[in-house]
């Protein structure tokens, strides 16, 4: 386990230079620590280093950590593929869901969001590389899904998310992220309010500078904070 303070300081420096290089507002990019397979103790360490947002992929594992850290200031983001039998736990325990990719899942999250909690903030996951192996709706289907989500009273649509094809080629990385930014613009131009499209969740340890350059507002970083994962 690397020194979390040191890792997070170094990462924040890299984020700051990417933001500066793109001429964007330094507060426009929010760091989400992708904390799958990390312990509640690891998350406590990251909280102490000033990271407030945590992204989790596996419901059972996440609920245990959320329970253990319920007195902390952590904000919880669900970022993994969603099975319908897990929507209740997600609706009851998370603040954000980045991976909504079909109406049925949106409807279940809406119906199961407890009345005493604020609306569940959601992003539509887009399969921007049209990869068979990836979740996410097709880019052409994203607009309609956004409109459907706007009809669901317990959800608050906030924008789009993607996991582009993994590549070390900076130009290819940029292309996927720029396409996402254009998709967001086109969804706004066809009538979805900008306040429902403020977020672009994109960029991981290997490609976040390109994502920031293209307009990412949330980057999801695991390895560059916590070190390599098992498996
Ligand atoms: C694991 C994960 C990340 C973080 O990946 P790293 O390469 O470790 O930064 C980001 N987004 C999602 C959806 C993930 O599952």
The CB of 220 under 6 Å from ligand 1? The reply is yes
- pTM over the 0.95 mark: yes
| Residue 2 predicted with pLDDT over 80 | no
| Model pLDDT for residues 59-86, shown as the tens digit of each residue | 999 999 999 999 999 999 999 999 999 9
Residue reference for tokens 């909504």 = 100
Helix axes 40-48, 4-21, angle to 10 degrees: 60
The fraction of the chain above a pLDDT of 90, given in percent, is 97
Ligand 1 touching residue 79 (CB < 6 A): yes
Give pLDDT, residue 46.
Answer: 98
Q: Which of 31, 32, 54, 55 to mutate to test the pocket of ligand 1 (most atoms within 8 A of CB)?
A: 55
195 alpha carbon to ligand 1 midpoint, in Å? 26
User: Looking at ligand 1, which residue's alpha carbon is closest to its atom 10?
Assistant: 220
CB 42 within 8 A of CB 3: no
Q: Is the CB of 122 under 6 A from ligand 1?
A: no
Give the DSSP H or E segment for 120. strand 120-126
Number of alpha helices (DSSP H) and beta strands (DSSP E) in the chain: 9, 8
**Residue 69 and residue 57: Cα distance in Å, rounded?**
17
In sequence order, what are the residues at sequence separation of 6 or more whose Cβ sits closer than 8 angstroms to the Cβ of residue 97?
77, 78, 82, 90, 109, 120, 121, 122, 123
Cα 221 to ligand 1 centroid, rounded to whole Å: 6
If one counts every other C-beta atom within 10 angstroms of the C-beta of residue 176, the result is 21
CB 173 within 8 A of CB 163: no
Q: What is the mean pLDDT of the chain?
A: 96
User: Can you give the pLDDT at residue 230?
Assistant: 83
């Amino acid at each position: 386990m690397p020194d979390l303070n040191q890792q997070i300081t170094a990462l924040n420096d890299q984020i700051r230079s990417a933001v500066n290089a793109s001429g964007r507002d330094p507060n426009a990019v929010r760091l989400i620590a992708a904390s799958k397979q990390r312990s509640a103790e690891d998350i406590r360490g990251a909280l102490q280093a000033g990271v407030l947002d945590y992204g989790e992929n596996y419901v059972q594992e996440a609920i245990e950590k959320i329970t253990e850290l319920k007195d902390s200031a952590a904000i919880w983001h669900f970022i993994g593929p969603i099975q319908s039998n897990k929507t209740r736990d997600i609706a009851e325990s998370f603040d954000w869901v980045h991976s909504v990719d079909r109406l049925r899942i949106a409807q279940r999250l809406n119906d199961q969001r407890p009345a005493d909690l604020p609306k569940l903030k959601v992003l539509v996951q887009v399969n921007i590389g049209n990869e068979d192996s990836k979740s996410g709706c097709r880019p052409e289907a994203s607009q309609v899904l956004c409109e459907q989500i706007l009809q669901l009273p317990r959800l608050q649509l906030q924008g789009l998310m993607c996991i582009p094809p993994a590549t070390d080629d900076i130009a290819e990385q940029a292309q996927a992220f720029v396409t996402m930014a254009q998709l967001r613009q086109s969804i706004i131009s066809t009538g979805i309010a900008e306040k429902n499209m403020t977020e672009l969740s994109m960029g991981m340890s290997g490609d976040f500078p390109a994502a920031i350059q293209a307009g990412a507002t949330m980057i999801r970083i695991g390895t560059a904070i916590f070190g390599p994962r098992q498996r």
